[in-house]
Structure 1
């Protein structure tokens, strides 16, 4: 005999059906009337809302995209000059510092120093002033 609650005739085996409550209010009644008219083939008048049901911010694209496509110029960020990157590298080597030690002395990441020495960095006056003070030299203008 199984343990637990007894399996005698006290159980209710009637099915339980859960139903969602119907929407209430004026709009729910008009929606059911519209649906009933559509089912019977009756006339249904609809008004289109201004920009209703569209997400224009996601699909519109930039307003000046056509101008950018028509423009033949190539736009590039200003980077440090060749003279600047060689002067920075020579000043760092004269102080016998590694890129990471120079970076820690000016409280920046080592990747910043690497970008400046490879010529890929966008010139930042604050960082250049820190480099000038840490190395004790006057680096050329970054242009």
Structure 2
């Protein structure tokens, strides 16, 4: 028999990290003399994938407002007058230019973002110019210039 056979070595196992989630479990492990490492990792437990960058202050100091241009109210009034002059509802005009009714509503209210394709379609259906210097003037029928 060797000396090691009769001696029992008592080792304390460190508890699993899943059991050390609560404050009471951490305190109990400390009382038992187990080394406990308590560090909170930066951003742990949060679902933050997008963090603010250094350029946030630069963007806040930006004086120019970055927005889309809206269609002017006078063009909206021209669309409305031309549509009513032809006896069309907003839905009828939208159907003729192959767009949604909301597009016509937004253009008439001055909320729409100007699109030359849509304005061109409206000009053809309404028969009036909506762009350029000659706004509100009737468009000459095709073939006559």
- TM interval, short-chain normalised: 0.5 to 0.7
Higher helix share: 1
Counterpart Cα distance in 2 of 1:107 and 1:62: 43
CA contact (8 A) 2:15 2:29 kept: no
Cα deviation, residue 112, structure 1: 1.6
TM-score in terms of structure 2 length: 0.55
Counterpart Cα distance in 1 of 2:43 and 2:112: 44
Aligned CA-pair RMSD: 3.3
Whether 2:42 is the aligned partner of 1:57: answer no
TM-score in terms of structure 1 length: 0.56
Partner deviation per Cα, 1:26-54 (whole Å, 9 max, x = no partner) = xxx8727x889545133245787786544
Long gaps (5+) in structure 2: 1-13, 133-145
Cα deviation, residue 122, structure 1: 0.9
Question: Relative to structure 1, is the Cα distance of residues 123 and 52 closer, same or farther in structure 2, using a 3 angstrom cutoff?
Answer: same
CA contact (8 A) 2:70 2:112 kept: yes
Whether 2:71 is the aligned partner of 1:86: answer no
